[in-house]
Structure 1
Amino acid sequence: MKKLFACFALLLGFLNLAHAASDNPADLIRDTSRQALDLLRKDDGKNSAKVREQLITMVTPKFDFQRMTALAVGKDWRAASPTQKEQLAREFQTLLVNTYSATMTRFKNAQIEVKPNVQLNNDGREAVVKSEVTLPGAADKKPINVDYTLYKTPQGWKVYNVTVEGGSLVTIYRNQFGEQVRKNGIDGLVKSLQEKNGSAKSA
């Protein structure tokens, strides 16, 4: 779980630091990752908040948090009202961004190798980009396999899932969210996310 969050944190920075106008999602990840790491490495402990703010500001345009939330909630998404869907998407986005901001600066010395062969699906409208990430301090220096799932929009490629060593971010949350909905309903899930985000804000 920690590895998945670490790689997700890196991905958020990788995809949002440059406005690379590439039609190839692998090029997008490869080119912008270099610039993201350059910015992260400027963090000397005195400007951490500024670095986090710069990266977070660039996160949302490259991710479809609504689609991520729908996939994470799963079948219960269809039963949610428009207001509940809006609340869920907002709180889930906040949760992911909080996770990102809390972990990203710890991995500024990571190494990433993006594989050139992109797997295209759905008549080229969806893509899976494979990569290997080596995190600093890893005892065996064994690369972590990270797959990024994107889809093409008029505004460019957007990410809606990340899979680390076979563990899907969306699937992990779907298991958690499903249990929460069974116990307390959609409103209970919204409340649970709000409480988590509130705790992170006050920490």
Structure 2
Amino acid sequence: MLKRLLAPFLTVIALTGVAFTAPAQAQVGADLAATPDGLVKAVVSDVMNTVKSDKDMQAGNIGKITQLVEQKILPHANFEKTTQIAMGRNWSKASPEQQKIITDQFKTLLIRTYAGAIAQIRDQAVQYRPYRGTADDTDATIRTQVINKGEPIQMDYRLEKTPEGWKVYDINVLGAWLTEAYKGSFNTIVTQQGIDGVIKTLQDRNKQLANAK
């Protein structure tokens, strides 16, 4: 079930690491990360430059790609909030220990999915729509279009402002938010198998992905 949910996102999520149509491409710095659109653009550029300069990643070296994700993407993501939204009303049914396990397993699943997708990066481009937020905003949506072989694909990001800076907590592909896509699946599993069923489903899927390397 989780594999089926990931399918629509897999190819397009790979494109979050591609070049964007802005004049400057720089490492993520405090000046760029100070705004939500600046953070997204900087991370996209940084990831793309790294992949394009590394033949192992282009050849699909999952170990190196996973390291890239952990170093350049994870610091700018809030997986706990992502997991909480995806679990919906079932989040409060889980104990603190179960919440931690679910968050860790869900994060591992998305990392492995992202790692496999990054290997598909080639010559796509990302167009950024104007962001008109204010300095007082604590939540932002950055809207983009991924141009893949001339075809535009909607790709949006939701971020929240935290004491550590802006963090991405949701992604919208072709009109479907990642957290919403998982919410129904998690709810069904909880109804049928309880909170432990979600943990087992995530653990089993991660084992499958690990063994598939």
Give TM-score scaled by structure 1 length. Answer: 0.86
Residue ranges of structure 1 left out of the alignment (5+ in a row): none
The answer on 1:26 being equivalent to 2:37 is yes
- Which among 2, 12, 16 is matched to residue 11 of structure 1? 16
- Residues 21-78 of structure 1: CA deviation (Å, up to 9, x unaligned): 2222112222332232121123435673464044122232111111100000100001
Aligned residues: 196
Q: 1:81 to 1:180 in 2, by over 3 A?
A: same
Q: CA shift at 1:19, angstroms?
A: 2.9
Instruction: Give RMSD over aligned pairs.
Output: 2.4
Name 1:164's counterpart in structure 2: 173
The answer on 1:189 being equivalent to 2:189 is no
Distance 1:6 1:119 in 2: 29
Range that drifts further, 60-69 or 45-54: 45-54
Name 1:200's counterpart in structure 2: 209
Name 2:128's counterpart in structure 1: 114
Name 1:173's counterpart in structure 2: 182
- Residues 91-149 of structure 1: CA deviation (Å, up to 9, x unaligned): 0000000101111110232211122224569x5000100111123xx4xx221111100
Range that drifts further, 78-87 or 27-36: 27-36
8 Å contact from structure 2 (residues 13, 117) kept in 1: no
Q: CA shift at 1:12, angstroms?
A: 6.5
Q: 1:24 to 1:161 in 2, by over 3 A?
A: same
Q: 1:187 to 1:2 in 2, by over 3 A?
A: closer
Q: 1:54 to 1:81 in 2, by over 3 A?
A: closer
Name 2:91's counterpart in structure 1: 77
Name 1:97's counterpart in structure 2: 111
The answer on 1:145 being equivalent to 2:154 is yes
Amino acid at match of 1:5: L
8 Å contact from structure 2 (residues 15, 121) kept in 1: yes
Q: 1:108 to 1:2 in 2, by over 3 A?
A: farther
Distance 2:42 2:84 in 1: 29
Give TM-score scaled by structure 2 length. Answer: 0.82
Distance 2:8 2:52 in 1: 20
Distance 1:47 1:192 in 2: 26
8 Å contact from structure 1 (residues 26, 115) kept in 2: no
